[in-house]
Amino acid sequence: MSIEQLAETAQAMVAAGKGIIAIDESTTTIAKRFAGVGIENTEENRRAYRELLLATPNLSDYISGAILFDETLRQSTKAGVPFAKHMADHGIIPGIKVDKGPQPLAGFPGEVVTEGLDGLRARLEEYYKLGARFAKWRAVINISDDIPSGTCIEANSHALARYAALCQEQGLVPMVEPEVIMDGSHDIDTCFEVTEVTLRSLFGALYEHSVLLEGTILKASMVLPGTTAAEQASVEDVAAATLQCLKSTVPATLPGIVFLSGGQSDEDATAHLNAMNQMGPNPWPLSFSYGRAMQSAALKLWSQDLVNNYAKAQQTVYERAKANGLAALGQWKSAA
């Protein structure tokens, strides 16, 4: 894929009023989600659930792409159409999660570094042949009294940059995701500081590895107080702090930023995105790449009756996509 094609794909991923649905849960993670609602974790149930999401009628009205897990990229619809082809035929760009997950960072208790670089070039080449046109790699940055350390941030930024360079070599748009975790009692100012340092490190590493920013998408966490912080923040404060942090760290040449929901409620994730777009104009499109905030209501509904609630669950997916698509334009209105 040429430089122009990488840029074109990246721009399509953040098209006005559209975002990404993340359905890249590993087999272990989806087992936990299924167990929580009483669904047996079989390959067919996983396939059927992914088809429910990807075959939602008119999904491409508000969804530009979907991040898949390795198993899902190799699966097909009930009619035998490979998911990647079904997606492409319906105007949705196939993406693939390629990291192997976080592992303890030796010598630094409480910190992790994401693994998966070994053999990545060959895997990316195969994923492109299977139809993927973008990839995702997630780094995890925890906040506590003495962490994150500079070593942890640097190690994860380096891995993200190496991954991104390999993606572009194989014709895939890299989505880089340095997630600053919400868990903890830290205040919003601490989250701001950690997010700012992390993003500065990331874009420095991307530059050092000759990664083309015009063909890269940032998947960012919002600047939020910790889940157990004594003082929580208003929607407007979260939006303002997140924008300030991004504007001080993210180059304007980036095609767009998509946010992760990161444990927020469905409503909060949508409200925060909407507020940021209402505070615009911003240097880049701001959209979403939500997993649980797109799926949780539909999964709960489907679990109650896998046959008769299928269409109802799809309607829920569409409604969540629409709400977030409108929020990406700053046009969402809360039902409350």
- Find out whether 263 and 256 touch, Cβ atoms under 8 Å: no
300 in catalytic set? no
pTM: 0.95
- Classify residue 109: in a domain, yes or no: yes
- Classify residue 14: in a domain, yes or no: yes
CA 224 to chain centre: 17
Domain of residue 130, residue span: 3-327
- Classify residue 334: in a domain, yes or no: no
Instruction: Compute the distance between CA of residue 231 and CA of residue 192 in angstroms, rounded to an integer.
Output: 15
- Among candidate residues 219, 312, 322, 333, the one labeled active-site is 219
In this structure, the number of other CB atoms found within 10 A of the CB of residue 1 comes to 17
- Classify residue 336: in a domain, yes or no: no
Token look-up 């949705």 returns 92
Span 33-58, average pLDDT: 96
Residue among 31, 59, 52 at smallest CA distance from 313: 52
Pairing of strands 217-220, 173-180: parallel
Helices 310-327, 292-304: crossing angle, 10 deg rounding: 160
3 confidence band (pLDDT: 50, 70, 90): confident
> pLDDT per residue over 204-248, tens digit each?
999 999 999 999 999 999 999 999 999 999 999 999 999 999 999
- Classify residue 132: in a domain, yes or no: yes
Rounded mean pLDDT of the chain? Answer: 96
**Tokens of residue 299, six digits:** 């999964």
Residue among 230, 191, 172, 190 at smallest CA distance from 7: 172
CATH of the domain at 90: 3.20.20.70
- Among candidate residues 25, 111, 177, 179, the one labeled active-site is 177
Helix locations, 170-291, DSSP H:
188-208, 235-247, 266-278
Query: Is 336 a residue whose pLDDT tops 70?
Result: no
What is the model's pLDDT at position 288? 97
- Classify residue 335: in a domain, yes or no: no
In this structure, the number of other CB atoms found within 10 A of the CB of residue 59 comes to 20
In what helix (H) or strand (E) does residue 293 lie, and over which residues does it extend? helix 292-304
> pLDDT per residue over 65-115, tens digit each?
999 999 999 999 999 999 999 999 999 999 999 999 999 999 999 999 999
In this structure, the number of other CB atoms found within 10 A of the CB of residue 94 comes to 24
> pLDDT per residue over 111-154, tens digit each?
999 999 999 999 999 999 999 999 999 999 999 999 999 999 99
Query: Is 160 a residue whose pLDDT tops 90?
Result: yes
- Classify residue 332: in a domain, yes or no: no
- Classify residue 113: in a domain, yes or no: yes
177 in catalytic set? yes
Residue among 25, 4, 3, 8 at smallest CA distance from 255: 8
* Tally of domains within the chain: 1
Token look-up 């046009």 returns 331
What is the model's pLDDT at position 104? 98
Query: Is 197 a residue whose pLDDT tops 80?
Result: yes
